Structure 1
Amino acid sequence: MEVVASAKSQEKTVEVGTFFEDMPFTKKHRFVGIALFMAFVIEAWEMMIIIMISGAIAAEFSLTPVQVGSLIGAIFLGMIPGTYVWGIVGDKIGRKKTIIYSLLLYGVVSAVSAFSPNYETLYTLRLLSGFSLGGVLACIFPYYEEMLPVKQRGKAAVFLSAGWPIGTLIALGITSLLMDLDGVLGGWRAIIFISSLAGFWAFVIRKIPESPYWLAGKGRTDEAKQIISELSEGKTVVSQGTELYVSKVKQGSIFEIFKTKMIKTTALQTIVNFCFSFGYWGLYTWIPTLLQQKGLSMGQSLGFVALSAVAQIPGYIVAAHLTSKYGRKKVMFAFVLFASIFGFAFAYSSSVFQLYAFNFALGFFSLGAWGVWNTWFGEIYPTNVRGVGYSWGVGGQRWANTVAPSLIGFVIGLGWVFGATVSFIQVFMVITLITILFIRETEGEILH
């Protein structure tokens, strides 16, 4: 087998990312990708499933609309402290262990929640479920990007984002199959319990290696070298006399991302994460209600959700191919721009055909942009605070997830019509569009 080692490997001290510049993309990378892809699928369906079964829960517990909204938002509210805590943990104990512990804890809490005797218990456990799942949310993209060759990092990481629509479709499928069944085999409790079994995926995550970037940051150079060799299937070798390093910032410290050299990045990514998430979640959590203003039935509205999920898949694929060719900034700007245009067009659709057509285009461009952002966002901080920085931004997303349903419900309650409500949501997409212009490009750069 041919062994390729950069001349830089003969130097005494080398930045670990240097060895990913010419690393080939191997079967080991594919296995890591599949394992983490399914973890993201699990995250997506757990976040969506409660929306789809909320009607049945409301009927059993005689809930008010306010209580239903609070229950839907509970997982996101739990994820806010969860992402902050797990982000610090991920930088301290490693990406792999954090995701394993997060999945296992989620599985236990979610399984117990299926037996909730009342609304208060279910709400509390959904809150804890969100906290538990925060470790997957905070670490999954930084972890995957730290395993990939520089040339394939953008495309592969965007493909990872396609786990979101797959998770949504699985949630729809499980709900459709089980909701109307009687006894222990069906109903909302069975759906939650079956979903909780996804926690066992932690045992698959155990089979993938720890991030060599994180290991180098911990001074565990020999282990990092071994994993670089494993990932490249022996084609990239670090010599015995070489020390690996990453950018020297205090590991796992949230205060680091607010220091002078990082404060601008932190401010910009927080704005993008909040506004971009508000623009997406504010629309899709209320889409059934909004579409009923247009004369569609609840069944047709759920079909709309499924169509949106299907439209997202080609959006991710196209974005993945474009980002490695044109860079993160250009592709994301173009996709958010078109998402905004079609969002406003969707707001003022004058026929059912236009609703479907503009919704398909909106789903294609908005989620393609999310794929690019998940990748770009995971690259902008150095290794020792990548988990903390990423978790801070994801926390902003969860604040938006929590605030958006209530705020949109408030304006609908004021009597705002479909066009005005959807246009208001699209304003947040425009803010996103402007903000990304000020974030530095990372395509082709090694991670630091």
Structure 2
Amino acid sequence: MSEIPSTLAPNVGDVFKDVPLTRTHLRCCLVLFLVFAIEAWEMMIIVYTAPLIAQEFSLDALAVGNLIGAMFIGMLLGALAWGRLAERIGRKRAIIWSLASYGVVSLASAFSPDYSTLYALRLLSGVAAVGMMVVTFAHFQELLPIRHRGALTVYLASGWPIGMLLALGATVWLLPQGWRAIIILSSLGGLWAIAVARWVPESPYWLASVGRQQDARASINALSRGAVKLDDECVLQVDRSTSGLHRELFKGGLLGISLLQITVNFTFSWGYWGLQTWLPTLLQQRGLNLPQSYGFIALSALCMIPGYMTASYLTGRFGRKKIIVGFISASVLAGYGFANSTSLEMLYLSNFALAFFSLGAWGVWGAWIGELYPTTLRTVGYGWAIFAQRMANVLAPSLIGALIAYGSSFNQTTTIINAFLVVTVVLTAFMPETEGKALR
């Protein structure tokens, strides 16, 4: 048992040097892992059901692209608000509110009588659901021992392919019942708010930042399962150099970091989502029918899982920067092979490599963002990261839809998408390393 003397006022981050990895951490990992899987499910379900919706409402490619982008517009509108809200009401409550509100709005969208209503409700669903993405990584990082933070945060990110597979499985399973039944099933994910409320503690960093010292000590005691004993007189500290305002991200030493991470989030998201949102259509250009395209996507999602596992192991050994630069560089090569594949076998192989490396990089990137900021700006910083990602998500489906509608070839379209990954590699080389450092 590690004791912190009452005469000290330690930083919460330094206390977590002595916190062991416990079953409580693993339980939190499982609960928040499924939150992220639900988020992925909700984001991808509209992509997979788009052909069915297009058939019912007689939509062309541009209208489908706009519908896919509707949720991302909602996320764009909500991202900055959720970051600030999480600093005011706490990480845990923000996730619960996001899950519950998304479930209600998403359920309503399943009963849309026309395209305009469906568009509006998918947009509102995005406003609600983005809270999960903005807050979950920051919350989980603030529960973890320093030496396990990077690896376990990447494991949390592997909820993404699980969510994709669940969305794809639901689509294939309920295909005969139509897209409305698929959306109804997806909406039930909002009930997972009950699990978060019951099994995930509040962040001791946030509790200390708002002066709830007794609750912060109790949270650390619960996470360590009594292994770290904090005296009742111990006053836990966090970095109070900022007060959680958006403008503080763009002042002093944080200005360069914020501009870099926001730009990387935009270029990386464009490179990934530009391909994923139109992958079924692009594959049909290469001769695969819709069921074959779904099978192709499922195999790609399975290849993401070892990518996450590999990145999780390597980031603890070599740091964030080397792994992300290496993995995204490999993604660029795989994307080039995908764009220029001359056989179905090459198409499969290059896309699986792209899935392995790009998603491994995404996992490490999700861990890196929160480590760049002090406690009072952590979810605000994530909010801007997600804002930039959603900006790319809004633009990419519509612009790529326009390229496809006006006759752009498979090779041209994928090459344009891949160029954004090249820019991402260059920008990440300038980010500061954070592996092994205490959160502020």
TM-score of the aligned structures, taking structure 1 as reference length: 0.96
Secondary structure, in 3 states, of the residue corresponding to 1:34? helix
Residues 294-303 or 65-74, more deviating: 294-303
- Tell me which residue corresponds to 2:197: 206
> Distance between the aligned counterparts of 2:168 and 2:407, measured in 1?
30
**Superposition pairs of residues 164-313 of structure 1, within 5 angstroms:** 164-180=160-176, 186-207=177-198, 208-313=200-305
Instruction: Tell me, in whole angstroms, the C-alpha distance in 2 between the residues paired with 1:369 and 1:11.
Output: 43
Paired with 1:33 and 1:303, the residues of 2 have a C-alpha distance of 29
User: Are residue 137 (structure 1) and residue 133 (structure 2) matched?
Assistant: yes
- Output one character per residue of 1:270-329: Cα deviation in whole Å (capped at 9) or x when no partner: 111000000000011122222233222222222221111111001001111111111111
Shift of 1:24: 0.6
The alignment partner of 1:5 has SS state of: strand
Label 1:290 to 1:63 Cα distance change in 2 as closer, same or farther (>3 A).
closer
Contact 2:65/2:401 (8 A) holds in 1: no
Instruction: Identify if the C-alpha distance between structure 1 residues 93 and 371 changes in structure 2 by more than 3 Å, giving closer, same or farther.
Output: same
1:401 corresponds, among 380, 393, 408, to 393
- Taking the aligned partners of 1:285 and 1:65, their CA distance within structure 2 comes to 12
Match of 2:3 among 5, 19, 41: 5
Correspondence 1:102-141 to 2 at 5 A: 102-141=98-137
Letter in 1 for 2:180: R
Matched, 1:44 2:40: yes
Aligned pair partner of 1:72 in 63, 68, 73? 68
- Partners of 2:254 and 2:376 lie apart in 1 by 13
Q: Which residue of 2 aligns with 1:183?
A: none
Return the alpha-carbon distance in structure 1 between the equivalents of residues 309 and 231 of structure 2: 38
The answer to whether the aligner puts 1:446 opposite 2:438 as a matched pair is: yes
- Note the alpha carbon deviations across 1:156-215, whole angstroms, 9 max, x for none: 0000011110000001111111121xxxxx221111111111111001110211000000
What is the aligned residue count?
A: 439
Equivalent position of 2:417 in the other structure: 425
Structure 2, unpaired ranges of 5+ = none
For the residue of structure 1 that corresponds to 2:429, the secondary structure is helix
Asked if the contact 1:87/1:391 (under 8 Å) is kept, the reply is: yes
* Matched letter for residue 192 of structure 2: W
Aligned-pair CA distance for 1:92: 0.9
Which residue number corresponds to residue 85 of structure 1? 81
CA contact (8 A) 1:75 1:128 kept: yes
Deviates more, 1:222-231 or 1:296-305: 296-305
Contact in 1 for aligned 2:74/2:126 (Cα 8 Å): yes
Aligned amino acid, residue 161 of structure 1? A
Counterpart in the other structure of 1:63: 59
1:11 deviates by: 4.2
In the alignment, what sits opposite 2:159? Answer: 163
Deviation at 1:65, TM superposition (A): 2.6
RMSD: 1.3
The Cα shift of 1:414 comes to: 4.3
Question: 1:257: Cα distance to partner?
Answer: 0.4
Change (3 A) 1:293 1:62: closer
Give yes or no for contact 1:91–1:251 (8 Å, CA) kept in 2: no
Instruction: Find the partner of 1:147 among 131, 143, 146.
Output: 143
CA distance in 1, matches of 2:286, 2:115: 32
Q: 3-state DSSP class of the match of 2:253?
A: helix
1:64-120 deviations in whole A, cap 9, x for unaligned?
332222111111110011111111000111000000011111111111111111111
Percent sequence identity over aligned pairs: 49
